[in-house]
Structure 1
Amino acid sequence: MSINTEIQGKSYPQTAPYAVGREKVREFARAVFSTNPLSDNVEAARAAGHADLVAPPTFPVVIQELTLQQLLADPSAGIDFTRVVHGNQQFTYTRSVIAGDELRATLTVTSVKTLGAHSMVTSETQIVDADDLHVVTAISTLVVRGDE
């Protein structure tokens, strides 16, 4: 099955709230070998002016993954997950993700390109807090390998 180029511009429903917990921040920090005390020590984070622990810069991928599940599960997209390779990832922040945040996300497919037998699907996930204020935008490109 080939990628449906008509998914370009398609947005998926906003995800359920994701509660950013202290231990999730600490676990993620350890997983990415972060040594930043703001992600592990509440007192250090507060001394730096934050309400609680500060998530590492790549932490929003946890929330973005919830939106990518929607895209990959959409039969009309035509994406075979067994053929997906992660091509690119970037984040644009309005503010840091802080333990205690309740975040929701909405994915929009911004680009679908065919390169020979392969396709590149780029999506933009807008992540907002409980007050609907922008926190971070996560942009991801998936490379879908085609039949050789």
Structure 2
Amino acid sequence: MPLNPELQGRVFPPTEPYLVGREKVREFARAVFATNPINLDPEAARAAGYDDVVAPPTFAVVVQELSLAQLLADPDAGIDFSRVVHGDQRFTSTRPIVAGDLLTATLTVSSVKSLGAHSMVTAESSITDASGAHVVTSISTLVIRGED
């Protein structure tokens, strides 16, 4: 089944809230070689004006994944995950993610394109905190390879 062009403009329900844990931030920081003390040391983060450790900017993909899972699991989307290649990733932040944040993501399919046998879908996850304030928008473009 090819990618469903009617996905464009679709908004998925908000994800369940995700509580950002200190150890998750530290693990992620180590995995991406983020060496700034505010990413690892709560005291350094507090000295810099934050409540707890600060996640590296790309940590937003952890929360975005919850919203992308809705799109990928939707049988009407026509996405064969075994044929998906990650094409692009971008972030627009209002503020850093900090351990202790309770975040919710709402995914909007902003673009669906066909390129020969291949398709591309761009999805934007707007991530907000417990008060509803914007924290970051994470934008992913997925390429769905055509049949061999």
Q: Tell whether the structures are fold-level matches, with TM greater than 0.5.
A: yes
Q: Provide the C-alpha distance between the structure 1 equivalents of 2:36 and 2:88, rounded to a whole number of angstroms.
A: 24
Aligned residue-pair number: 148
Partner of 2:112: 112
Q: What CA deviation, in whole Å up to 9, does each residue of 1:91-126 have, x standing for no partner? A: 000000000000000000000000000001000000
Q: Provide the C-alpha distance between the structure 1 equivalents of 2:81 and 2:147, rounded to a whole number of angstroms.
A: 14
- CA drift of 1:49 comes to 0.7
Q: Provide the C-alpha distance between the structure 2 equivalents of 1:61 and 1:37, rounded to a whole number of angstroms.
A: 21
Partner of 2:63: 63
Query: What is the aligned-residue RMSD (CA, Å)?
Result: 0.5
Partner of 2:12: 12
Q: Provide the C-alpha distance between the structure 2 equivalents of 1:106 and 1:99, rounded to a whole number of angstroms.
A: 20
Partner of 1:52: 52
Matched-pair identity in %: 69
Query: Unaligned stretches of 5+ in structure 1?
Result: none
Q: Provide the C-alpha distance between the structure 1 equivalents of 2:18 and 2:131, rounded to a whole number of angstroms.
A: 13
Q: Give the letter aligned to residue 105 of structure 1.
A: A
Q: Provide the C-alpha distance between the structure 1 equivalents of 2:124 and 2:68, rounded to a whole number of angstroms.
A: 10
